[in-house]
Amino acid sequence: MVTKSVVVKSSTGLHARPATLLVKKASGFKSDVTMEFNGKKANAKSLIGVLSLGVSKDSNIKLIVSGDDEALAAEEIVKLIESLDE
């Protein structure tokens, strides 16, 4: 299991377009990808789940990845979140 903390820099947080990009990226991996924010958890492969967290700009989220390709998945997803809105 890999756990990473990442700050969302996107001006809209993880809503609509950024959330869709995140779900597509997470869905490309075999590993289970869970996001945690404000005490709530959601499957990062579910658009409804990601949107339900209500992640806003400058929020710190925790990414929990476990499975065959967990290291690569965690690295790629963190890279994507950090690159949103650059």
Question: Out of 4, 12, 15, 59, which one is annotated catalytic?
Answer: 15
* Full residue range of the structural domain in which residue 41 is found: 2-83
At 72, phi and psi to the nearest 5?
-65, -45
* 17 in catalytic set: no
What digits encode the pLDDT tens for the residues 42-61? 999 999 999 999 999 999 99
d(CA 37, CA 60): 7
- Give me 20's structure tokens: 């869709």
Q: What is the CATH number of the domain that holds 27?
A: 3.30.1340.10
Q: Whole-angstrom distance between the N-terminal and C-terminal Cα of the chain?
A: 29
**Which mean pLDDT values do the consecutive 10-residue runs of the chain (86 residues) have?**
95 93 98 97 98 96 98 97 85
